[in-house]
Amino acid sequence: MRETNSGAAALMSQPPLTVSDRLARKALRNFKERVIELLLLGAASVSVLTTVGIIWVLVSESFNFFSNVSIWSFLTDTMWTPLFAEPRYGILPLLAGTLTTSMVALVVAIPLGTTIAIYLSEFARPAVREVVKPFLELLGGIPTIVYGYFALMVVIPLLQLLIPDLSGFNMLGAGIVMGIAIIPYVSSLAEDAMRAVPMSMREGSYAMGATKLQTAFRVIFPAALSGILSAYILGISRAVGETMIVAVAAGMQPNFTVNPLEPAQTISAYIVQVALGDLPHGSIGYQSIFAAGLSLMLMTLALNLVGHVVRRRFREAY
């Protein structure tokens, strides 16, 4: 050791703080800590308040709606024409439209998003990743109305070349573009989850003679499963709630079908249609958007609860 003891000796010469000093400080300290904790708790509660607010708004307006329309017919009627002279209030066509477009979107977004995530996390050089990832995230920043026109003007005409008598508005085209639009949500989160798998896992696998592909699929993917599932759940929620793309390209036609080649309307598209439209507030047609919104909210809620349980089950343990 190069130092002498003089430093340490000087150091210990001051008397320790007396006990009463400490007590005085403690009271002040505890008060301050308490106030800060309450403030932070308040901030955390805002998210709960938001949910409560959403549910309150949706339920109270839906309440009026359901005093005119029976829940039974809402859930079983196969026609949705709330704004017509002879209104029918069956949510099934909208639900079918929502599920079909979402399904198409997921068929695009999950394989592509996962592939991209694996490619970026395990195959691409770091420099490529650093450039490409923000780029992909920008896809999430393009206004969805732009995607809507992209679907209508580019993708659907292309599809019509493949499927000759495809109608000009359909769930397939809207769903595909919606899928592309949610790729970044899926790929970015899934990639984060895979990056988070410690390097020691990769070294372990490579040291056995595994290729990148084997490492990615057999080790990294299962290890990151819970994070990847979160990414999927978010992607599904996005698809279910996506509005402008389907509003522009899917045809706005409540159609009780799951055939993606046909036009249809989704719950969110219906809501924005009415919000943009001409309906007197307080009319039953206006209240119908809250009933529709409530259905949408319940769907995403159910989805996320399932996601929560599934994620718990696959929690990473490296």
Near other proteins in 23-42, by CB under 8 A: 26, 29-30, 32-33, 36-37, 39-42
Amino acid at 316: E
Total residues binding other proteins (CB under 8 A): 157
Among 65, 89, 169, 232, binds other proteins (CB under 8 A): 169
Q: If you count them, how many residues does the chain have? A: 318
Q: Looking up tokens 């499927």, which residue turns up?
A: 163
Measured from the CB atom, the residue of 57 and 75 that comes closer to other proteins is 57
Q: Looking up tokens 């970026």, which residue turns up?
A: 120
Whether residue 74 contacts residue 66, with contact meaning beta carbons closer than 8 Å, is answered with yes
Among 71, 75, 142, 258, binds other proteins (CB under 8 A): 142
Among 144, 171, 178, 287, binds other proteins (CB under 8 A): 144
Among 104, 152, 194, 228, binds other proteins (CB under 8 A): 152
Q: Which residues contact 55 (CB under 8 A, 6 or more apart)?
A: 297
Measured from the CB atom, the residue of 64 and 304 that comes closer to other proteins is 304
**How far apart (Å, rounded) are the C-alpha atoms in residues 136 and 147?**
15
Decide if residue 64 touches other proteins (CB under 8 A).
no
Min. distance of Cβ 74 from other proteins in angstroms?
Answer: 17
Sign for the CA dihedral angle at 223, 201, 118, 127 comes to positive
Interaction pattern, residues 191-230, with other proteins; x per rule: CB under 8 A? -x-----x-xxxxxxxxxxxxxxx---xx--xx------x
**Quick check: helix, strand or coil at residue 215?**
helix
Tokens of 103: 């399904």
Among 24, 258, 301, 306, binds other proteins (CB under 8 A): 301
Instruction: State which of positions 87-106 bind other proteins (CB under 8 A).
Output: none
Rg for the chain (alpha carbons), in Å? 27
Among 24, 31, 53, 63, binds other proteins (CB under 8 A): 53
Decide if residue 277 touches other proteins (CB under 8 A).
yes
Tokens of 294: 């409530």
Distances (CA, A) of 76 to 130, 215, 256: 50, 49, 11
Among 24, 75, 153, 306, binds other proteins (CB under 8 A): 153
Distances (CA, A) of 143 to 89, 140, 250: 31, 8, 17
Instruction: State which of positions 66-85 bind other proteins (CB under 8 A).
Output: 79-81, 83-85
Whether residue 153 contacts residue 203, with contact meaning beta carbons closer than 8 Å, is answered with no
Instruction: State which of positions 104-123 bind other proteins (CB under 8 A).
Output: 111-112, 115-116, 118-120, 123
Among 24, 68, 71, 168, binds other proteins (CB under 8 A): 168
